[in-house]
Amino acid sequence: MAEHILIVEDDTALGQGLCLTLEQYTCTLASTLAEGRTLLQRGGWDLVILDINLPDGSGLDLLAQIRHASQLPVLILTANDMELDEVQGLELGADDYVTKPFSLAVLRARVKNLLRSRRAGAETLYRQGAFVFDFARLEFCRDGQGIELSRTEQRLLRLLVENRGRVLTRAQLLDAVWDGGEFVDENALSVAMRRLRTKLIDPPIRTIYGVGYQWECGEVTR
């Protein structure tokens, strides 16, 4: 599934150009700091591309907000004569920066590298409320009690957790859990989801009727 990138850039032409050059990903464009904050709260992002000079404030404020809550990768865009912005951005926790004007090919390579690093560092230990899931050891607990999950249920759970806050369609889940899903009865997903819910006992899995499912966000421990 395509990663989701939030682009906060007030230059409409540049923002649209970024979306085009990153067309293999799912990009959403925000033109103000306020809009960026609103979209960020929805969750489900894999990367943020953040301009510093925005009409309603500094992108560095949003960067600080992101770093206070998560390790979501952030690539900042800076003017070529604002070295101080680059330093401040890196000190606040930006993962990379690109100075304007920049090569779209270079930006694309930087984005690819950040997303690759994020995938490589995907969490293996997840905690939320009564739940503790250790995907490396394949150990799953609720209130300290072990839960036996089938391989399909493990894959389904990990997919939901790694995309927490994001609605995954039935087609996406079938494709990812059953390696293509073309020859799988769609009812198989409903059955697997029902069994997973029964075993976990009231997990934060939300059904989006007619669309798919969403693991509602919680606290993560790496």
* pLDDT per residue as tens digits for the range 16-55: 999 999 999 999 999 999 999 999 888 778 899 999 989 9
Of the candidates 88, 120, 152, which is a domain's last residue?
A: 120
Which tokens is 143 given?
């209130």
What string of DSSP letters covers 26-54? Answer: EEEEE-SHHHHHHHHTT---SEEEEESEE
Same domain, 68 and 92: yes
The domain that contains 154 carries what CATH number?
A: 1.10.10.10
Residue 177 lies in a domain: yes
Of the candidates 120, 135, 168, which is a domain's last residue?
A: 120
Q: Which residue has the higher pLDDT, 215 or 183?
A: 215
Residue 81 lies in a domain: yes
Which tokens is 19 given?
């979306």
Same domain, 197 and 95: no
State pLDDT tens for residues 151-199. Answer: 999 999 998 988 888 888 998 898 888 865 556 777 899 999 999 999 9
DSSP-based three-state secondary structure for 22: coil
In the prediction, which pLDDT does 62 show? 92
Domain tally for the chain?
2
Instruction: Say if CB 78 and CB 85 are below 8 A apart.
Output: yes
Same domain, 34 and 93: yes
State pLDDT tens for residues 50-104. Answer: 999 899 999 999 999 888 777 789 999 887 566 677 777 788 888 888 888 888 8
Residue 222 lies in a domain: no
Same domain, 211 and 111: no
In the prediction, which pLDDT does 117 show? 78
- Cβ neighbours of residue 5 under 8 Å, at least 6 residues apart? 22, 25, 26, 27, 28, 45, 46, 47, 48, 49, 111
The angle, 0 to 180 degrees and rounded to 10, between the axes of the packed helices 12-21 and 104-120 is: 60
State pLDDT tens for residues 125-147. Answer: 888 889 999 887 889 999 989 99
Residue-range definition of the domain harbouring residue 62: 4-120
Same domain, 104 and 131: no
Q: In what order do the strands lie in the sheet with 74-79?
A: 26-30, 4-8, 47-51, 74-79, 96-100
In the prediction, which pLDDT does 222 show? 34
Same domain, 10 and 55: yes
pLDDT band at 219 (very low <50, low <70, confident <90, very high): very low
- The DSSP bridge partners found for residue 77 are 51, 98
Residue 143's CB is within 10 A of a number of other CB atoms, namely: 9
Same domain, 89 and 144: no
Residue 221 lies in a domain: no
